[in-house]
């Protein structure tokens, strides 16, 4: 279940960056991106198992493709250099995301076709939004 506070925070982050930079992101895409980020932000085991490639090759349903596309979007946005130490570049996530979302088009053609065709742009927008959001810090009241 997506925490409403997480969704709201992500929507605000994305929407502020969108308006600041004039990104042409439709509201329904903003809403979807916010939901993806909110869904995965507190999941420690968010990566596909046994591996990204094996999961992609074993996709049999549109819903499984959607999940892998969401995982790739989260990885590309939050951890874009995660696999570089293994010699795998960011294009790896981009390709997995685009392919996965194209297989998910049976769920909602307009949404997943748009996500597939604009995967790199949207991942980079999310990454930029995340990197350029002021860090939140915990405030502790002064002890008397």
- DSSP assignment of 12-76 equals HHHHHHHHHHT----HHHHHHHHHHHHHHTT-TT-S-SS-HHHHHHT--SHHHHHHHHHHHHHHH
Angle at 90 between CA 86 and CA 96, to 5 degrees: 100
> What per-residue string of b and e applies to 61-96 under the rule 16 or more CB within 10 Å gives b?
ebebbbbbbbbbbbbbbbebeeeeeeeeebebbbeb
Q: What is the pLDDT of residue 135?
A: 59
Per-position pLDDT tens, the chain of length 144: 899 999 999 999 999 999 999 999 999 999 999 999 999 988 989 999 999 999 999 999 999 999 999 999 999 999 888 778 778 888 999 999 999 999 999 999 999 999 999 999 999 999 999 888 765 444 444 444
The whole-number pLDDT of residue 1 equals 83
Q: What is the structure's pLDDT at 130? A: 86
Q: What is the pLDDT of residue 139?
A: 42
Q: How far is CA 44 from the centre of its chain?
A: 15
pLDDT of residue 140: 43
Angle at 133 between CA 129 and CA 137, to 5 degrees: 145
- Whether the CB-CB separation of 66 and 107 falls below 8 Å is answered with yes
Residues 126 and 93 sit within 8 Å (Cβ to Cβ): no
Write down the pTM of the prediction: 0.88
pLDDT confidence of residue 141: 45
Q: Mean pLDDT, the chain, as a whole number? A: 90
Identify the pLDDT of residue 143.
47
Provide φ and ψ at 24, rounded to 5°.
Answer: -85, 60
């Amino acid at each position: 279940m997506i925490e409403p506070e997480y969704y709201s925070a992500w929507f605000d982050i994305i929407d502020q960056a969108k308006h600041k930079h004039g990104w042409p992101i439709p509201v329904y895409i903003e809403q979807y991106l916010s939901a993806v980020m909110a869904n995965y932000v507190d999941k420690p085991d968010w990566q596909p198992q046994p591996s990204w490639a094996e999961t992609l090759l074993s996709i049999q349903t549109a819903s499984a493709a959607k999940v892998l596309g969401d995982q790739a979007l989260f990885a590309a946005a939050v951890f874009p250099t995660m696999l570089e130490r293994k010699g795998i570049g960011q294009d790896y996530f981009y390709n997995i995301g685009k392919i996965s979302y194209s297989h998910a088009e049976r769920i909602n053609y307009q949404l997943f076709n748009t996500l597939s065709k604009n995967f790199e742009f949207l991942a980079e927008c999310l990454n930029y939004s995340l990197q350029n959001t002021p860090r939140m810090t915990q405030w502790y009241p002064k002890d008397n």
